[in-house]
Amino acid sequence: MSHLYNLRQSHTYQTVRRKKNGTRSVQRAIGVRRRPDPQGRPGFIRIDRVHQGDKDGVKGLYHINAVDDVTQFEVVCSVERISETFMIPVLEEILATFPFKLLAFHSDNGSE
């Protein structure tokens, strides 16, 4: 047994048996959800929907609110349901209403 300890101290044993550390992965922030940074430029809008509520078992309206971060220019529209049939025409109208070129669109992970 003592001879094994002597062998472990030899250069040959250490080069063959030594554990080598491999390449370490680098942690990068990919797909981080955060609002855009407009840096004073208009065209970065936030969009959100608000449900008006139900009454007597009947679904209420949904209000779509779009606001520019810098100028605070706001457009509000209402839709009967949240589906492509109802949302696409309203979103096209909202985007055409803004008086400047849109550079970014932030919807806080909603269905807008």
Model pLDDT for residues 4-46, shown as the tens digit of each residue: 788 788 888 877 777 777 777 777 776 666 777 888 899 999 8
Q: Which tokens is 44 given?
A: 């970065």
In terms of C-beta density within 10 A (0-12 exposed, 13-18 middle, 19 or more buried), how is residue 64 classed? buried
User: Chain-wide mean pLDDT for the chain?
Assistant: 83
Separation of alpha carbons 54 and 67, rounded Å:
26
**Residue 24, by phi and psi: left (phi above 0), alpha (psi -120 to 50) or beta?**
beta
Query: pTM, whole model, 2 decimals?
Result: 0.63
Q: Please determine, for residue 111, whether its predicted confidence score (pLDDT) is greater than 60.
A: no
